Amino acid sequence: MKTLSNANSAALDNQPFLSGRVWTPRRGAALVAVVFVLVICWQIDGVRLGTIFQRSTSSALWTLLRGLFPPDLSFGFLRIVCRALLSTLATAIAGTFLSVLIAIPLAALSTPILWRRGNLVSADEGNLASTLRAAASRAVLAFLGFLRAIPDLVWGLLFVTAVGLGSLAGTLALAVSYTGVLGRVYADAFADVDPRPLEALQAIGATRGQIFLRGIWPQARPTVTAYTLYSFECCVRAASVLGFVGAGGIGYEISLSMRLFEYGQAMTLILAFVLLLASTDVVSRRLRQSLQPNAGQAENTWFPQGNLTSSQGRFRSVLRPARYVVVVAVLIGSFYFAGFTREPFEGARILGNMLRFCRGMFPPDFGKDFVLGLGSLVLQTLAISILGTLIGIIIGGFLAIPATSSLVLPQPDSPGARSVSDRGLRWSIFLATRLLLNVLRSIPDLVWVLICIVVIGIGPFAGTVAIGLHTAGVLGKLYAETLEEVPRKPMEALRALGAGPFQLLWWGLWPQAKRMLASYTIVRWETNLRVSAILGLVGGGGLGQAIYNNVQLGFYSRLGTLLLVIYALVMVSDRIGDTVFRRSAAN
């Protein structure tokens, strides 16, 4: 009874938002500032709520929905879908492989414990060689940050301009973009290893390369492998939308069908895209599980023990080389279908085109009129990301409540019996909400932009709504999973007092999950800021429209300026996110 009382008090002692400390002058000023920013964003985006409720909008939406069904399942079009899926998958595999090959050495060069700080460099600290090595390591880290900051769709547009249309441009774009992502993650993994084996290797005269190969890599390999598989999932998603700028894959077919108002074909392509993502997620999850330390023991339980041990060993010894052969064959096929054939590389045409294209961006155009003209586009990009994130928070937060199993589904500690109809209703609500969140999350932002343009017209308002819908699916799932993972003791105590679902949410879940929910929201806003910079490529407003126009007109020096602006925006958002995280951790 004493334990129950303590749990009850722990569950009910979360009332800071009701105390007078909440309404301090500082928090009141922050609230006023937030409202002011939202009003400015509202004006910049040209939000027209009346447009949503107009008869023409409902008519356009009905026309779109009627055109989506039934999907086009004709044999000829399904062949096109299969070719597009194969091209997308090949682009993702080849892009991931190239990014890993480039990222590992760059990550080793940017690892701080090898070149900049720690016991390995303390002995040489202060001399010229050590200073030059540290400066080179910081330069590599900054280079990785630049590659990571530019959205992959912008890289796709740049490579399409440099090497032409097709999957080859998409593969090179993924290789460059995910080199930045993987390089930073690998460098962090290399820096987190146990330093004692490294110091022992240095004590016996090992070089930096030997320390990396014998000391760092064996410790970091599981983390590197797991994140590489996750990166492959991301590459599949990215390869699916690179076709919107002509980089091949299923995205090109979706864009073409939407522009030709062939909505039945677009529906077939979207369903195929969702199926590809789901299959990739399942395969990647199985591979990650098989790489867990106890996976081998779990697999052994499926084989008979005793006399069959030797035959099992022989089978595995034969299977291991076969796996390598399959992996090599898949890589060769992927590079072939991704456009790495002899024709594009004959006469060094690609290299020459890329050099001319890069040379055209330097020096960037810092003309007064051009730079000042970018101010409105930068504000528009920020406004799209902020309002789109706000829409996603509202819709995702609303859908997260019925998608949280601990709130909706019957729990073992719930008082009273539940009828079959009540259980069925609760499960139906839970599964329907989860399905809706998966649909919102699976459809890419650019596809949502095209849909919103068809319904409400071209411009930043369509981009804002599109980001909001996609973000609702992402945040709704994250919010629901976070609420499900909170400690259960306060929830059990509240149920023992007869609390209902909303009381459980307000007094039991929210106080424990609010910091993690805020962290997810900030991270998503950073992602949305990157996405907002490219929505203009398909008519969603922001800097993307300026990027597309300058590429089409051949104003490459202005394109260089736009890339620097995007890089600055991303760096500012990262700094804001890091500041929020540090304050959350300090509290």
pLDDT for residue 491: 66
Q: Work out the average pLDDT over 29-54.
A: 81
CB 269 within 8 A of CB 253: yes
Mean confidence (pLDDT) of the chain: 80
**Distance from C-alpha of 23 to C-alpha of 32, rounded to nearest angstrom:** 12
Domains of the chain and CATH, by start = 38-68+369-397+439-586 (1.10.3720.10), 75-292+320-360 (1.10.3720.10)
- pTM, to two decimals: 0.77
Residue 504 has pLDDT above 50, yes or no: yes
How many Å apart are CA 361 and CA 364, to the nearest integer? 6
Question: Given this model, what pLDDT does residue 7 score?
Answer: 43
Give 410-433 pLDDT, tens digit per residue.
Answer: 665 555 546 778 788 888 888 899
Burial class (CB in 10 A: 0-12, 13-18, 19+), 375: exposed
Residue of 395, 414, 396, 416 lying closest to 406 (CA atoms): 414
pLDDT confidence tier of residue 471, bands split at 50, 70 and 90:
very high
What pLDDT is recorded for position 13?
Answer: 46
Given this model, what pLDDT does residue 39 score?
A: 86
More confident position, 403 or 577: 403
**pLDDT value, residue 1:** 41
Q: Are 141 and 187 in contact (CB under 8 A)?
A: yes
For residue 253, CA distances in Å to 21, 80, 105, 246 come to 56, 9, 36, 10
Per-range mean pLDDT, top range of 174-178, 259-263, 525-529: 174-178
Tokens of 114: 């090898």
Q: What is the pLDDT averaged over residues 448-477?
A: 88
Residue 91 has pLDDT above 90, yes or no: yes
52 has a pLDDT exceeding 50: yes
Q: What is the mean pLDDT of residues 289-305?
A: 50
Neighbours of 574 (CB within 10 A): 15
144-153, 204-213, 306-315, 368-377: segment of lowest average pLDDT:
306-315
Is the confidence at residue 475, as pLDDT, over 70?
A: yes
- pLDDT for residue 357 is more than 70: yes
Dist CA 524 CA 479 (whole Å): 12
The H or E element containing residue 43 is: helix 25-45
Q: What percent of the chain has pLDDT above 70?
A: 82
**SS3 call for 362:** coil
CA–CA gap between residue 476 and residue 518 (Å, rounded): 13
